[in-house]
Chains A and B, each alone.
Chain A
């Protein structure tokens, strides 16, 4: 099956960027998010907040892309935080333990405050 795409908007903020994916994040679409995160590192902009308000569904592939993103951003001297109010995703973060050690907050501004230095 050809890789499907999820629309991702990129916003520049003071000291970090916000990625806003729109659509389901699953095994078929997660490549777009992975590519976008890779580009942040290429652009030497490794501090990123991923806003999940436009993502109604996320499976383990989507969570895997976020976890891989955290690891890569930290290796590049930055960090990845998550802005999310969707209960379903927050539940997934709790079950898997992703929420521990990664900044997760309802708004992008609050999430950005939790970047590890």
Chain B
């Protein structure tokens, strides 16, 4: 189970609070114990001592009052005797609850009995005789029996004082013992609580701070551009989680760094490709050329090339398999060979052979290139082309004529893709264009555009759209077609789109077609 940082902190503070609570409880209980000893001394022992003394003093005073009365019988001495008698009786009542030990209670009982004996002697023997006028006999009774009782009372009073003094002495000893014990216990508990508090206050934050410090170091390393510093924390709490997420962030940053590098490389590649691709079309009286290219990525495998030499116009549209950098490199190889061979005066067949050899030598076995290598005579409208595994050109006629479709795919003899076959085939298709005819060259990105349902745009939709848009200018046809394809694919086009419309504007020439095999090269796909 993961112990969260919150629970660790709450647990630490909880333990600290429990220690403070324990300290408070121990302190209170020890003071309560001291208080009980104090109560024993001040509420019982001291008042007990005072009362015992008071009783003895009262009886002594009673004895002195009676003795004085026998010598000089003044009534106030008799009143003093009676008053002290009440005092002794009151003190005796107070003394009972104050004396807690059985021995003290027995002494007090003896003292009360002696007091009663003294009162019996005085009240029944001494005072009646004194009242009868026989003072000598009264003195004799008081001296024989009353003094004995008073003596007993004094002895018992002394014993009670001694007992009470012992209680006080014991209580002081107990108080001292408990005070010492309290001090030791309080010291131990305080030291223990402080130690645990210090451990909690130092160890927990130290580990937390140490882990966070490692994270801070790693963050500084990122600031310096070092993305390889690993932070391995196994604390089982939020800090470990933070370290893990930090690692993910490092990996993400590294990927971004690599991507940025790749983007830079892609931009370089795109710049090279832009320079290689046709930038300005040559002026070609009699033929209007309108290209369109929409790349799915910065670089791509689609390309076209145009060259004019007198009335002869060479138009090439190519498509390297795959996408991205690999396809762009393949396109570069094909285009470079094409231009180099043409520069040396080679004819179309030779150029294609050399391109095939170069692509077979250079590229990996999974790649190939399709292209249409076309030549158009801008004076006569004669068009010849080698179709190397490429989708067939589409012809948009200048005007509808009875029995003939307005547009059709020109399916001549087929050759094979470049870069894979030793002999890709070199059969040529020948067609005659009449004034206003448009030959549409394109790449498979149009046909293979995929709808969200997985359906492809296909040849049928492509042909239908071209024929529907044929009244528009070539550039408008291209733009509208791209919009239709994008709509069809719901904006998600993975492949490049390239189109080149060749519009023949020269003298009207009778349409005729010949092929090396003598086959009909124009087939409608509808």
Q: Does B263 contact A (CB under 8 A)?
A: no
Contact in complex: B456, A57 (CB < 8 Å): yes
How distant is the Cα of A65 from the Cα of B322 in the complex, in angstroms?
10
Interface of A is mostly: helix
- The stretch of A13-21, A39-47, A90-98 in contact with B is A90-98
Residues of B close to A96: CB separation below 8 A: 368, 370, 389, 416-417
> Chain A, interface size: which category?
20 to 34
**B321 CB contact (under 8 Å) in A24, A57, A64:** A64
Shortest distance in angstroms between A24's beta carbon and chain B's nearest beta carbon?
A: 8
Between A56, A64, A95, A98, the greatest number of chain B beta carbons within 10 A of the residue's beta carbon is seen for A64
Judged by a CB distance under 8 angstroms, whether B323 is at the interface is yes
B495 at the interface (CB under 8 A from A): yes
Chain A neighbourhood of B454, CB < 8 A: 24, 56-57
User: Are A68's CB and B364's CB within 8 A?
Assistant: yes
Task: Tell me, yes or no, whether B390 is within 8 Å of chain A by CB.
Answer: yes
Query: Mask for B333-365, Cβ within 8 A of A = 1, else 0?
Result: 000000000000000000000000000000011
Give Cα distance in the complex from A83 to B317, angstroms. 31
Which residues of A (8-66) have their CB < 8 Å from a CB of B? 24, 26-27, 34, 56-57, 59-61, 63-65
Residues on the A chain within 8 Å of B448, using CB: 57, 59
A76 vs B121: C-alpha distance when bound (angstroms): 147
> B414 is contacted by which of A56, A59, A67, A95 (Cβ under 8 Å)?
A95
Contacts A27-B494, A57-B450, A61-B322 given; does A98 touch B417 at CB 8 Å: yes
Q: Whole-angstrom distance between the alpha carbons of A100 and B392 in the complex?
A: 18
> Contact at A100–B416, with CB atoms within 8 Å?
yes
Select which of A64, A71, A88, A98 is within 8 A of B456 by beta carbon: A88
Q: Which of B323, B365, B424 contacts A68 (CB 8 A)?
A: B365
Q: Which chain B residue has the least Cβ–Cβ distance from A37?
A: B366
CB distance from A58 to the nearest CB of B (A): 9
Q: A64-B367, A101-B421 are in contact. Are A26 and B494 (CB under 8 A)?
A: yes
Tell whether, in the assembled complex, residue A71 and residue B494 are in contact, meaning their CB atoms are under 8 Å apart. no
B415 at the interface (CB under 8 A from A): yes
* Interchain CB contact under 8 A, B456 and A60: no
Interface flags for B393-418 (1: CB within 8 Å of A; 0: not) read 00000000000000000000011110
Map CB proximity to A onto B36-77 as digits: 1 under 8 Å, 0 otherwise: 000000000000000000000000000000000000000000
B321 touches A63 (CB 8 A): yes
Please, which residues of chain B bring their CB within 8 A of the CB of A61? 321-323, 366
Asked if A27 meets B323 with Cβ closer than 8 Å, knowing A71-B365, A95-B390, the reply is yes
Residue from A57, A64, A97 within 8 A of B425 (CB atoms): A97
List of B residues within 8 angstroms of A5 by Cβ: none
Instruction: Indicate if B444 sits at the interface (CB-CB under 8 A).
Output: yes
Chain B residues near A101 (CB-CB < 8 A): 421
B389, A97: Cβ atoms closer than 8 Å = yes
Contact for B366 among A56, A65, A98, CB less than 8 A: A65
- B 495-519 binary contact with A (CB < 8 Å = 1; else 0): 1000000000000000000000000
In the bound complex, residues from chain A placing their C-beta under 8 Å from that of B81 are none
As a 0/1 sequence over residues 249 to 291 of chain B, the CB contacts with chain A under 8 angstroms (1 = contact) are: 0000000000000000000000000000000000000000000
Interface size on B, residues (CB 8 A): 31
Contact partner of B420 (CB less than 8 A), chosen from A27, A71, A94, is: A71
Bound CA span A61–B300, Å: 13
A68 CB contacts on chain B under 8 angstroms: 364-367
Complex formed: what's the CA distance from A57 to B319 in Å? 18
Q: Mark B293-333, 1 if CB is under 8 A from A, else 0.
A: 00000000100000000000000000101111000000000
Q: Which one of B321, B324, B415, B416 contacts A60 once the chains associate, using CB atoms below 8 Å?
A: B321
In the assembled complex, B391 has its CB within 8 A of some CB on chain A? yes
For A26, A59, A68, A96, the residue with the greatest tally of chain B CB atoms inside 10 Å of its CB is A96
Taken residue by residue from 66 to 107, chain A's Cβ proximity to chain B (1 for < 8 Å, 0 otherwise) reads as 011001100000000000000010000011111011000000
Closest to A62 in B: B321
CA distance A64 to B420 in the complex (A): 9
- Which chain A residue shows the least CB distance to B445? A59
Chain B residues within an 8 Å CB radius of A95: 370, 389-392, 414
A88 to chain B, nearest CB (A): 7
Asked if B322 and A67 make an inter-chain contact with CB atoms under 8 angstroms apart, the answer reads no
CB-CB under 8 A from B301, the residues of chain A are: 60
Q: In the complex, how many angstroms separate the beta carbon of A114 from the nearest chain B beta carbon?
A: 17
A24 to B495, CA, bound (A): 14
A-B contact pairs, 9 of them (CB 8 A): A56-B454, A57-B448, A59-B495, A60-B370, A68-B365, A68-B367, A71-B365, A95-B390, A100-B416
Interface residues of B (CB under 8 A from A): 301, 319, 321-324, 364-368, 370, 389-392, 414-417, 420-421, 424-425, 444, 448, 450, 454, 456, 494-495
Q: A57-B448, A67-B365, A97-B389 are in contact. List 9 more A-B contacts (CB 8 A).
A: A24-B454, A27-B494, A56-B454, A95-B391, A96-B370, A96-B417, A97-B417, A98-B416, A101-B421
Q: Which 3 A-B pairs have the closest CB atoms?
A: A97-B416, A68-B366, A60-B321
